[in-house]
Amino acid sequence: MSTARKILSNTVSQIIGKFLVAILGLSVIKITTQYLGAKGYGDYNQVYEFLAFFGIAADLGLFTIAVREMSHREEDIPKIIGNILSLRTILVFITMALAVIAAFLNPKYGNTKVPLGVAIASISTFLTILNGTTTSVLQAKLKMHISSITTVIGKVVSIGAMLYIVFFGFPDDSETGFYMLLFAGVLGNFIMVIATDHYVRKITPLDFRFDFDFWKSVLVKSVPYGLALILNTIYFRIDSLFIYNIRGQEEAGIYGMAMKMLEQFSILPLYFMNSVLPVLTKAIREKNQKYRDIISYSFDFLAAMSVPMVVGGVILAFPIVFIFSTPEFLSRINEGFYGSDIAFQILIFALLCQFLNVLFSFILIAVNKQAKLLYVSGIAVAVKIVSNIIFVPEYGFRGAAVTSVITEFIILAGVFLFAKKYLSFSVNFKNFIKIIFSALVMGAAIYLLQPITYRFLQNWSVLLLIVIGMVIYGIMLFLTKTINRNLLGLLKKDIKEEIPIDKIQ
């Protein structure tokens, strides 16, 4: 099997898995928003937003660095995963303990369900990070289909428990049900960890190791990237904290609902680039010029996924939010009320930048220049905090959403310039224009069809429009020759210049 086909297979399996997880995740949003209402969902969302700051500190970029190290030294995989497992376990235990303490000491959370919620959900975060550690072995081996399966299993268990809580356990007691929903997440993550551990042990032993010299060397490599991730989390999450503390629970719930929907898809570029990273790193290290094609095709792939999401999301925001929440979350412009659909329309442009900046960030990681991400993230954080202080009190979540788009663009420009500085490559902007054109044609079609389909299916017509849009978009990609014979040939057969797949496994 060719390298490209191996990457494609690994990525497609992840995308299919993530698609299922996204659908299940959207189901969770539907269940929680309908059961808790805007204010209750504001608290529920705040629990996870608060934990995200501490969870990323526990991650510290170790997943990506572990994948890179295992790709370089396959014979040392047991040593690498054993030490990363020990290091990450200690870090996550400390950070989760700090998170719980900080939540109970925060006066803003004094009369809310957030502190106890953080204590419960911290167990979920602990399990998620440990699962991510063992998953790095699957990523290095390009066997992420296993992770997709275990993640789906865990999510199904969580949703099953949530449905029981909402309809049978505590249908009229949302106060107790709030905490039970968090315990449902713990249960699902526990099942996921057990399943992932079972499969990974078939590839390598999973034993805690304490090679402190190795810890020191891997921390030197991961800390710069980890700090960049922390800064990224601050600029990505800080607006939710500002909204919650300045504008209140209800508006935080409105904004959080749109954010959660987009988060279901923002992980896709990470899945793809984690599949590409082992091959890209090896090609660059061996001075194999094939890395240029890998980068070019990666850009096309990420753009082809994200651009139609933006076009379709802007047009179909209202019915999409209708399906996955309740009318309480929808805009009533005649009353001066802006809902989650407005937040969704703005934030989806930030999603486009996220998809593309992941590629250039991973190029910096591949050439061991991840420290440069700190500069970019630092500027973005400063811009985000200052702009939130200025605009959130006056404009609420709309101001926060616009600042998110601006900071994502700053990051995209920064990582692109740094990547170009340290590695010679090019992207096909002609293809990018074709992708935009194809998406606009798709958008025009669904815009014209929307009032027609609404007569028969009302807002549920969005499900039909999404399918129609995907078909039109796919046809346009072929008609514009965005998907060409060279790309198809690369995926169908081995190419002599490619890196033999048996050397990256």
Instruction: Provide the pLDDT confidence category of residue 502 given band limits of 50, 70 and 90.
Output: very low
H runs (alpha helix) in 208-339: 212-247, 249-266, 268-285, 290-324
Mean pLDDT value of segment 7-36: 75
Statement: residue 423 has pLDDT above 50: yes
Of the given ranges (69-73, 82-86, 332-336, 433-437), which has the lowest mean pLDDT?
A: 69-73
Measure CA of the first residue to CA of the last residue in the chain; give whole Å.
Answer: 12
Query: How far apart are the C-alpha atoms of 150 and 195, rounded to whole Å?
Result: 6
Statement: residue 487 has pLDDT above 60: no
Instruction: Provide the pLDDT confidence category of residue 355 given band limits of 50, 70 and 90.
Output: very high
Note the pLDDT tens digit of each residue in 444-472.
Answer: 999 999 999 988 888 889 989 999 999 99
Note the pLDDT tens digit of each residue in 489-498.
Answer: 444 433 333 3
Half-sphere exposure at residue 99, Cβ-oriented, CA atoms within 13 angstroms: 31
Q: Supply the DSSP string of 122-133, one letter for each residue.
A: HHHHHHHHHHHH
| Ranges assigned E (strand) in 69-166 | none
Instruction: Say if CB 188 and CB 158 are below 8 A apart.
Output: yes
Of the given ranges (40-44, 230-234, 418-422), which has the lowest mean pLDDT?
A: 230-234
% of the chain surpassing 70 pLDDT: 88
State how many domains the chain has.
1
What pLDDT score does 494 carry? 37
Query: How far apart are the C-alpha atoms of 360 and 450, rounded to whole Å?
Result: 37
Statement: residue 239 has pLDDT above 90: no
Residue 106 structure tokens: 């925060």
Q: Give, for 406, the enclosing helix (H) or strand (E).
A: helix 397-422
Mean pLDDT of the chain: 83
Note the pLDDT tens digit of each residue in 95-108.
Answer: 999 999 999 998 88
Statement: residue 159 has pLDDT above 90: yes
The boundaries of the domain holding residue 460 are 3-503
Question: Nearest-CA neighbor of 182 among 369, 3, 47?
Answer: 47
- The SS3 assignment for 383 reads helix
Note the pLDDT tens digit of each residue in 25-57.
Answer: 888 888 998 898 888 888 998 899 888 878 777
What pLDDT score does 450 carry? 93
% of the chain surpassing 90 pLDDT: 32
Confidence (pTM): 0.73
Question: Nearest-CA neighbor of 403 among 360, 442, 478, 349?
Answer: 349
What backbone phi and psi angles, to 5 degrees, belong to 313? Answer: -65, -40
Note the pLDDT tens digit of each residue in 362-400.
Answer: 898 888 887 788 888 888 888 888 998 999 998 889 999
